[in-house]
Structure 1
Amino acid sequence: MKKYIFLTSSIGRIGGAQMFVSNKCEYLKKHGWDVEIFFFNTYDQIRIENLKPFSRNYLPELKYPIQAYTKRQVDIILSRICCGSNAEEIVVETHLTELAFWGELVAQRLNGIHLLNYLEESIPFFSKKEIAFFDFKVRRRESLNASRKSLKRLFKDYYTEDYENFTFILKTPCSNVVSDAIDNQYHIEAADYCLTSIGRLDKPYVQPMIAEILQLVDLHTDKTFNMIFIGGSPDGKSEVEISNAFRGVRNVKLYMLGYMFPIPRKLLEKVNVSIATSNSVLVTANLSIPTIAVDANDFQAIGVYGYDTTNTVFRKEESPRKISDVLTEILFSDKYASKKVLSIEQEKVNKTFSEQENMIESTPKDGKYFDVLSIYPFRVRFLAILKRSIHLFFDMFS
């Protein structure tokens, strides 16, 4: 038997990471793997059907790094993850750099393989000793996210050109996001133009994007606009901020639809332009809706996906552009009209996950692991444990 264990942040709500793990989970199960997913973020509802069975694996302890626990506490947490995992082949995949230290300990206990697959857009700074761990993983070809750009984001000043000998270009496909099922729950009124934003509302690019949209609609007060937001935020604060931003804007009708999965195709039929980042770009681009990809670093437009860029998260050679300028071109010119963008077929999704599965064969499988617990001296561990205790104390009263 083969077992695949994911350590990720959340399976609730809807986001690129959730869609990625959902699709990869389905692929792995069809190819003979027993799958488990452990996560630490709370949720109001698990909206992706095939992730619901993993609700039992909510493990809030993973929210904190390994140095924030005593060795006995670490052992208890590992026991909960490793319980019943006696397969002949075991792979652990972690989706955040902080989770990677947990993943190494899980793989070591189970004598499995740990694949580093950091999906976060903003990577923290790590100490030299912590960087040694990531160096160890990359050189052993145990990093799924090992392009030149991603490794520079990870290693920062510690990056060396030698890492280019260990590259692996990660693709994170998502499918089955749009449904043909009829959904009459939402009535979108007629307008001259319909804009949509798909993705989490607490992402840092959202507020700058709204400012650009407001600038555009203010220049065209003779036109009416529908502004549809598909997505939400963990605490609801972003929804309030967005509603306040559009309050009093007479030529904009605001629709806050929250998390949706799948998204009814009928809802997107009248959309003229979409704005998103990461995998959310592909949702509307695959329907040939002009979709502005926003750079996760500078919050400006990379370009229109499938027309003048194929990047969804970070720009490469593309020059930064104001979102309002790109919106103007899409809505008031023919520059981005009548071009079909090829959608991601299930066959391509399967090919991508097959490449990731095949990567397992290139790893050493020599039973060697990095001693991640030795990274942190007693003083560092003591301060981290104290900090976690303080957080937990205040969480009790929040």
Structure 2
Amino acid sequence: MDFVPYAVPFFFALIVIELLADRWRGVSNYRVADAINSLSTGVLSTTTGLLTKGVGLLTYAFALQHLALFELSAQKPWVWVFAFVAYDLCYYWLHRMGHERNILWAAHSVHHQSEDYNLSTALRQTSTGFLLSWIFYLPLAVLGVPLVVFISVASLNLLYQFWVHTRHVPKLGWYEWFFVTPSNHRAHHAQNALYMDRNYGGVFILWDRLFGTFQEEDEREPVIFGVTTPLASWNPLWANLQFYAQLWADARRTESYWDKLRIWFMRTGWRPADVAARYPLNKPDLGQFRKFEVPLEVRQQIYVVLQFAVYVGLGSYLMNFGEHLPLAALLLGGGTLVLGLFVLGAALENRPWALRLEIVRLACNLPLVWWAPWVGLWPASPLGWVGVFSYSLLSVIGLYYCCKPRVIRLAGS
């Protein structure tokens, strides 16, 4: 059983609580654009997961049927305990290789791109991890862990990892020795040389202590969050494609056919010598580190937040009913989400063409409400037309207000 969909409302409630804690403590761990970018990648990951999660489940089920050495029973409690611990060990190696190999880092880097650290960062997930991650869990199938147990412990492992993405919880004493905590996971998200590529466990930090990858958070070395090659964008699509694009560009530019192939599987950061010489990467000096920021008026931020809330609703609808929807409906709903999140990312970056793109997005509401019943996304209803018309009208009014020049009043006038 997948517990994650049931936990989503609690995720957002805890984010609100963390925001209140920020205000009470007088700190600022959230930025509107960064949080929306993190949540957008999460919505995108969840939506694409409706189409791609079958890759992992089918390969696991196939291996369970044809390669299992044992036949374990889901009725025995010890099987659940064993599976929970063994899953985290498999996750450790997936996570570690996700930092150590180019092709896997291309997927996992999405989770590390945020230069803030808060609970919204936990929801910042890749949309391409399904391509190779299934390989690391096949040992569980070989050992005979039932599919229902595998799905359940996987979701519990993911749920545990949510709460460790906060700066409000200090070190937890003896608990730090055995389990992943906010402190040792903060170190994991750092781009400081001291912390880089450490603390890979999902639930148990024991794996890192056992395999020599543990690093304690050091008060003398404040954590600088993010990646050494900054994303410098609020676009969730580019967040998923950035490192793939870099690898592809390097593979295309190198003159060595061997390098064109092996670059994908080499250690993270490895580049062909001829490409590195001709196209060096400029990485910022941490001593002069500045977070990526695009100036945006408050009214524009409010508009984007409200529009994003609509896509959270659509994403929740797809997540709750996706298993019962036909493929055409999922493609239409997913395509609508991708377009919307791309446009909102452009708005947060204050692109010169963002306004024209936003008008196109709103114009697409008409064909959307027309096609949705045809493909089975939702039933035909006059309320659908009324709802979309009202939403579009309010959006146009809000857009006009955002674009209206501000009147600056001079003192004494």
The interval holding the TM-score normalised by the smaller chain is under 0.3
Which structure carries more helix by proportion? 2
Compute the TM-score of the two structures, normalised by the length of structure 1: 0.23
Q: Could you tell me the TM-score, scaled by structure 2's length?
A: 0.23
Higher strand share: 1
